[in-house]
Chains A and B, each alone.
Chain A
């Protein structure tokens, strides 16, 4: 019976990964679509490909953080992880429906924390893990913004003497394929690892692996496959918000925004920090827009995005807590 339950919750975790791809990975291609470097169809295939191959590039430190760094592993049971996942999925679907670029990552962290607190109280939370994730909610978009702004200023200085702007534009359209690939690679590594972390937590809870064991290869491959499939189905409402409503982008700006965001994601993945790809690319896009002038950034939309960020962890935690109590009430 426990094996069947375990299989069902692993399927739900992969479903979350799929929704993550659907919801978040669209951001990987927002700038490529907004600058018309690729058609939406080709862009999702491009992003999905690099989401998948990320498994061969990065380690699994983020997965370890999710499995053992958010809540005390001793409190994790199949029902806690299930409730956390449902909380995150419900939150993601709700924000996707509303066209808000929320964060699947923080929805997952909020969901796991909410379900664990519902089971055993606030004492099960790991303050240092939550503090790292919490401060990087602020740091990751600000790093993306600063890097993108600095990059766009440097690149503008480097190319301003060229008298053929069309040639420059063409060169940056080509480079945008590279920067979009790098961002998708970073996204695939950081976000797919969150699902790996959940599945690892489940396997630990079920006694199938020990707390310090590596993530099994089948978990790594299935997580990357699920997020890549989610990307293929894409979330176009969010692409519109990120790619055109925050600020209008040219290919050079797209390259700078994606390169800055990719650098931030590589840093986070290498250090085992689960960050939001949405936060990071939004920071990059705002950085590029503010290099022209602040009025190029549509702050009304940016403000809605920030509210979604603020509400994600408490919102998903509350949903997860309710789901946990409902599951626990079933005899």
Chain B
């Protein structure tokens, strides 16, 4: 039976949340790194979910 949840997308969302959480403790000149990672991981999660849906 096919899984109901895309675990890969969930992992990417967790990664995005983790990056978001540590942005406030990141030194100012590296905060952009965290912000870019949040966006990238959310996009990856979306792409993974669309891939998952297309195979369902």
| Interface set of A (CB-CB < 8 Å, partner B) | 128, 131-132, 134-136, 138-139, 142-143, 145-146, 149-150, 290, 293-294
Contact = CB atoms under 8 A, between A and B. Distances in A.
B27 to A, nearest CB: 5
A65 B30 CA distance: 15
A290 to B, nearest CB: 6
Interface string B4-18: 000110010001001
Interface in B36-55: 37, 40-41, 44
Given A293-B8, A294-B8, A135 B34 contact: yes
Given A128-B27, A142-B15, A135 B22 contact: yes
A131 B23 CA distance: 11
Q: Per DSSP, are chain A's interface residues mostly helix, strand or loop, or mixed?
A: helix
Contacts of A139: 19, 22, 30, 33-34, 37
Interface of B: 7-8, 11, 15, 18-19, 22, 25-27, 30, 33-34, 37, 40-41, 44
A201 B19 CA distance: 32
Contacts of B41: 142, 146
22 contacts: A135-B25, A135-B26, A135-B27, A135-B30, A135-B34, A136-B30, A138-B18, A138-B19, A138-B22, A139-B37, A142-B15, A142-B18, A142-B19, A142-B41, A143-B33, A143-B37, A146-B37, A146-B40, A146-B44, A149-B44, A290-B11, A293-B8
